[in-house]
Structure 1
């Protein structure tokens, strides 16, 4: 089941990290927590006609909140287009730098994914054949794995929160839906 991301006009993507820090003060102790980083997508429709609003609202309800896990095609356009690229070497869990054999271009801020994983990653820096990620790998990546980039990245998500417009039954002609999705593995 693929989420109808094309029905939403606004998207906000946030990387959420489990960071442990002492209360605000001049010097702070910082440590990475035990929970893996994940992405949250906040999606908002434009004001849509009532006859489109009702079926979309029902479709969102059909995901049963956090119960269903589904695929969301990357809603953010990438700077470049790449296909048929592969990882160069084995990269262990926890690594942030990945060697990729590619002929095109990659851009910081775009998303990538590896064939052996359902996790999406964001590119922080591109340097030659190396790409640095915004957070470490959650699993080992084998040499020769396919690399999915930009529009080919699929987030595995569930619904975290939903807000819909209050409808005046006799006079409403439009509605707006806000949905927050969170990445699942």
Structure 2
């Protein structure tokens, strides 16, 4: 992510030109963004979904760069697009439909505790390593956010984001159809 952030700060003219409809600038911008999006997808998507997430993200960049309001928000916007692509692909891979929250909670409430424990264990094991690590430290070891940040050498914000994403992935795993 840092490389793209640096590139967007140094090359705001390229982003502006792409926003303005310059086809060459758009091709250059896509070429510059692809390695960073691939690294992001490799860390946040299932291995089987990496190529699709990169493709979906770059396609959306191609289609919507003209609607971007501020050049300074380019990197945040692009990584949010990649994150949503990863989550959408995960939902699709487990056959999940978007069920209302109360329906989901009602389904989980009827599970036997031993079945829920088994599925929860499987859900945690299915997480990418960096998400599994923070969930285990937070929910099993019961460490605080600051303690986890210290152990892993991360910022509080990174720890909180990873916990949030991991819980979303676990929930999606548990409520799959």
TM-score range normalised by the length of the shorter chain? under 0.3
Q: Which has the higher strand share?
A: 1
Q: Which has the higher helix share?
A: 2
TM-score, structure 2 as length reference:
0.26
> Quick one: higher RCO (CA 8 Å, sep 6+), 1 or 2?
1
TM-score, structure 1 as length reference:
0.25
